[in-house]
Amino acid sequence: MKKPIGFCWVYIVEFNVYGTIEIFKVRLVENGCMQAYGINYSGTFNHVAKVSIVRVLLSLVVNLDWS
C-alpha cells in the first residue's frame, strides 16, 4: 500500500520598487521531500493549485450539493 504525499501552503509577498507590498500570493503544493526512492521518486513535477481553482471547486460543491 502506498502512502499519499502530503501538501503545504506556500505564501509569497511581492514588493514593488518603493518597498511597499504590491501583492500577496498563495499556492497549494505537494511536499516533494516526503518521496521514497523506488516508490514515488521518479517524478520531479509538483502539482500546484491556485486559490482561484480551489474557489471554483468549492463553488461547484456548494451549487451541486456534493458531499
Q: What is the pTM of this model?
A: 0.39
d(CA 39, CA 12) in angstroms, rounded, equals 31
| Within a domain: 51 | yes
| Within a domain: 36 | yes
Residue 49 and residue 67 in contact, taking contact as beta carbons nearer than 8 Å: no
| Within a domain: 16 | yes
Domain hosting residue 31, numbered range: 7-63
| Within a domain: 21 | yes
| Within a domain: 1 | no
Number of domains comprising the chain = 1
Tens-digit pLDDT profile for residues 52-64: 888 898 999 999 9
Average pLDDT, the chain: 78
SS3 28: strand
Q: Which of 7, 45, 39, 5 is nearest to 26 (CA)?
A: 7
